[in-house]
Amino acid sequence: MYTIATLGSHSCLQILKGAKEEGFNTLAVATKDMAKFYRGYSFIDEVKEIAKWRDFFALEKELIKKNVIIVPHGSFVAYLGLKENKKMKVPTFGSKDVLDWEQDRKKQRQWLVDAKIKVPHEFKDGSEIKGPVIVKFYGARGGKGYFVAHNPKEFKKKIAAFKGRPHVIQEYVIGAPIYIHYFASPLSGQVEIMSVDKRYETNVDSLGRIPLKGQEHIEVEPSFVVVGNIPLTLRESMLAKALQMGEKLVESSKRLIGGRGLYGPFCLETIVPENLEFHVIEISARIVAGTNISVPYSPYSYFKHGQAMTTGRRIAREIKTAIAENRLQEVLG
Ligand code: AMP
Ligand code: AMP
């Protein structure tokens, strides 16, 4: 009997609910402040309390003994670190080789370009800036710490505070942010669209509530820190293109990263301007928190599976099928 476990945050509820629905034991590893919260859910069989995130590694031996399979999410790299994730000995769902490609913005771009997916223009140097740009630092996640500039002078002034931190200067695409959640099955080789969301970000999504006239008198920089997610459906005529992008990314990962490439859940974060072309701003190579909008299903997971199906449950289903077909090693990283 296997137990599916994850850290108590991000998309833990969705992952463990899905695991329970597929018949697994479930375990959450949570910090003291969150443990009581997770104990409130009957589909979580056990909550292990740790004092701080890094204490997770002290539990590894015990988790291995319990036949645990870890489903990683955004908190793993954010709170445990990239190197530590790669060294983790407890079996995990998904490829660890893609982590280096996901973490490095240059590699991400190389990957997208190789897959022939449209990306926003990038300026090599601040002096080349024409029109609005968004400046992103390496390793920044969830929209934290970005800034917007409109010309070389403004960029120079704003970047000074960051003392040479590696960053990219990207064309600010004026359009709708659309995040597409996929699942690539290592067992069947197929890619499917699970759900779509848009982010609710503070303060960019709230600035518009103050009329321009009122904004002139407050010293406020737009920021993109995510606080939640809103479900979306896409124009149906855009769905085929969205699916193709996911397929091309997976194909390219096999060429570039090697081995099994990218498999399991992933997300393409796009901005769509009025010409309706997807401009991909980022790849997330694992379950994203935006999939939480799909409990118990999204229109797209319902069309595909005809029953309640979240990304969390889809992962558990893949593990269950792999066990039944004696192919578990094919889904573990
Ligand atoms: P949390 O568990 O909320 O502390 O988040 C863990 C990591 O995932 C952090 O790096 C967050 O920035 C990121 N994250 C959490 N929720 C979301 C979300 N809804 N959209 C994008 N990133 C998120
Ligand atoms: P990211 O962390 O790259 O997903 O970006 C976080 C947020 O910043 C997005 O949801 C958008 O609101 C905004 N953003 C990032 N890149 C761009 C861009 N090139 N053009 C316009 N908005 C962007």
Global confidence as pTM: 0.94
Atom of ligand 2 nearest to the CA of 199: 10
Its sign, for the CA torsion 313, 224, 272, 279, is: negative
Protein residues whose CB sits closer than 6 Å to any atom of ligand 1: 9-10, 74-75, 78, 141-142, 199, 226, 229, 289-290
The protein residue with its alpha carbon nearest to ligand 1, atom 14, reads 142
Which residue from 281, 283, 284, 288 has its CB within 8 A of the most atoms of ligand 2, so it is best to mutate?
Answer: 281
For the stretch 123-157, pLDDT in tens is 999 999 999 999 998 765 656 778 999 999 999 99
**Residue to probe by mutation, ligand 1, list 29, 38, 75, 179, most atoms within 8 Å of CB:** 75
Torsion of Cα atoms, 226 then 229 then 234 then 240, to 10°: 70
Task: Please tell me the distance between residue 140's alpha carbon and the centre of ligand 1 in angstroms.
Answer: 11
201-213 residue pLDDT tens: 998 998 889 888 8
Domains of the chain (ranges, CATH numbers): 3-92 (3.40.50.20), 101-118+175-200+229-309+325-330 (3.30.470.20), 122-171 (3.30.1490.20)
- At residue 256, what are phi and psi to the nearest 5 degrees? -85, -45
Q: How far apart are CA 250 and CA 245, in angstroms?
A: 9
Q: List average pLDDT for each run of 10 residues in the chain, which is 333 residues long.
A: 97 98 98 97 98 96 97 94 92 94 91 98 95 86 79 95 90 96 97 97 90 84 90 98 98 93 97 98 96 98 98 98 98 94
